[in-house]
Chain A
Amino acid sequence: MVVAQQQKAGTFQVLVGKIDDVLQYAIGDPLRYLANWGRLYSLWPVHLETACCSVEVGAAAGSRFDIERFGTLEAFGSLRACDLIIVMGTVTRKLAPRLKLIYDQMAEPKWVIAMGACSITGGLYFDSYNVLRGIDDIIPVDVYVPGCPPRAEALIQGIVLLQEKIRRMPTLSGR
């Protein structure tokens, strides 16, 4: 008797699990896909220049490379509307707390591109007294774009990689 009841409850739970799966596939996934698709091609980067790589971001935003073709604005003033930080090069000890503060003020979901050797490992400035050896100690990095400075094409590739990552993001919140 007890065994039969347990079997019955077991099948019920399996049924609930199945319905959950079906709902996930039928509603959740399309919804997630839709939301992520909406985020993909409207990345708003923060206007935070940290060092000399900003010249190449400027070139990428210029009319030759035109980064807007790939669904990214050039740079934007208000943090609250932004969802992407491109860390353009060296982060010094003076800038590091500001960078963290800026990252914390942005709304979720948010992504970080570390551009240039300096923001990845410290680059040429590995033995300087005022330079952070990579920014991943203070904020999580999604895409690394190596180079010193990276060419504009490399930055575009980094953004396309980030879009690929956003497309496959498993949850709606991004975390």
Chain B
Amino acid sequence: MRMTLESEYSPDADRIMAVSLGPQHPGAGHFRIRLWLDGDYVVKALPDAGYVHRGEEKMGEYRNYTQNVPHLERPVILDSSNILFAYSLGVDELMNSKVPPRAQYLRVIMSEINRIISHMYFIAIQGLFLGHTTMITWCMGDRDFWIDLGERIAGARVTFAYIIPGGVRNDIPEFAIEKGLKTCDWFEKRMGEYEKIFYDNPMVHQRSDGVGVLSRDDAIAFGATGTVARASGLALDVRKDEPYSSYSDFEFKTPVLTQGDSWARAYVALLDMRESIKIIRQALKGLPQGPVRLKLGPQPRVPAGEVYSRTEAARGEMSYHIVSDGSPRPYRLKIGVPSAKNLRALPHLLKNVHIADIPVIYWSLNYWPVEADR
């Protein structure tokens, strides 16, 4: 079977060369970018997604609201709590259930831990794509401390399945609170070292300053969210805009940078983690007592209705459009994932750049193909 169909490429002139980057390429895993090159410059780039399209939305219609929990976190196991958070909020809203305060705090704690886990992976690979091997070694190692903490709370290594409709799956063990506070203290110091070795590194600045600049207007027009939007001066943060699940109890800021380049997009992730540490610390210290979940039964009946719920996941706004017809299964389950929202910016940013800058720009969008494809 020939994969490169001639009709797929239509070079404009003799000097334009069409190249396919991926799906087997160190600079683009499970994702392909079709490139039209003029020498070392990219004339046009089109993303080709869908290598991990697993039909989550169709599967969601076959399963009931409880069975949907494990497979819905698979699209983004880097950030598994946040993708379930929005789903749980949506189902809670449809069922009109009041989540107990302790469960709300635990949801916030787990969601912020997962934000750190996801951002650590992001800046690790960003370091790798910039040729900065120390960053991947450090971050991948340090990320495991957070995974350990999540494992102590939820019991699994990356797929926590912790946030479920009606609360959280289990209570936090006493020793995990102490361990969590310790990890926060240690990590706060550690982030200073990241800043010194990576963000202040002249090599990193040279390779990512002014590379792939997304202006604020373009960020709005393309519907960019999360780290991409915040690096372009767009102060969007669902945690602030609609404080769900007691986010209003905590004191934190929304980090915003205005450069809009690859460096800023990576730096926003670090600033985000600083705020996450603050939230985790406040939530662990002020954890209220009480039950952690409502009894829903194995096959909860959800009243008919329509809901659009959203949370701030690590990559940006995670949203669900759930339509219920009163049966135990959702009639329609649309997952609006941040990676798919940021994808439109990619062909725009990959115009007139060097080939060597492609991996840097691509990964600085914090794009996770499994999440975008669903």
Contact = CB atoms under 8 A, between A and B. Distances in A.
Direct contact of A and B (CB under 8 A): yes
Contacts of A124: 70-71, 74
Interface string A105-140: 000000000000000000011011111000000000
Interface residues of B, number: 39
B141 A47 contact: no
B35 to A, nearest CB: 17
B143 A62 contact: yes
A72 interface: no
A93 to B, nearest CB: 9
B157 interface: yes
Residue of B30, B137, B141, B144 contacting most chain A CB atoms (<10 Å): B30
B140 A75 contact: no
Nearest to A98: B23
Contacts of A64: 140-141, 144
Contact of B77 (A95, A149, A151): A149
A77 B143 contact: no
Nearest to B74: A52
Interface stretch (A29-37, A53-61, A165-173): A53-61
B78 to A, nearest CB: 6
Query: Secondary structure of the B side of the interface?
Result: helix
Contact of A77 (B25, B76, B157): B25
Interface stretch (B39-47, B52-60, B187-195, B341-349): B52-60
Interface string B142-153: 011001000000
Contacts of A131: 54-55
Contact of A59 (B25, B50, B140): B140
Contact of A54 (B30, B58, B137): B30
Contacts of A42: none
Nearest to A105: B24
Interface in B73-104: 74-78
Contact of B3 (A50, A75, A101): A101
Contacts of A128: 54-55, 58-59
A163 interface: no
Contacts of A46: 24
B1 A148 contact: no
B370 interface: yes
B73 to A, nearest CB: 9
A92 B52 contact: yes
B19 to A, nearest CB: 15
Given A52-B77, A98-B3, A127 B62 contact: yes
Nearest to B55: A128
B70 A47 contact: no
A149 B29 CA distance: 18
Interface in B14-45: 23-26, 29-30
A97 B24 CA distance: 12
Contacts of B136: 62
A145 interface: no
Given A62-B141, A63-B140, A101-B1, A90 B54 contact: yes
B121 interface: yes
B51 A50 contact: yes
A58 B140 contact: yes
Contact of B51 (A63, A92, A100, A101): A92
B1 A97 contact: yes
B158 interface: yes
A51 B30 contact: yes
A160 interface: no
A102 interface: yes
Contacts of A58: 121, 124-125, 140
B159 interface: yes
Given A54-B30, A130-B55, A131-B55, 10 more contacts: A49-B29, A52-B52, A52-B76, A62-B124, A62-B137, A75-B26, A92-B53, A97-B1, A97-B3, A149-B77
Interface of A: 46-52, 54-56, 58-59, 61-64, 75-77, 79, 90, 92, 94-95, 97-98, 100-102, 124-125, 127-131, 148-149, 151
18 contacts: A51-B370, A52-B76, A54-B30, A55-B78, A58-B124, A64-B140, A77-B25, A92-B52, A92-B53, A97-B1, A98-B51, A102-B24, A125-B55, A128-B55, A129-B58, A131-B54, A149-B158, A151-B157
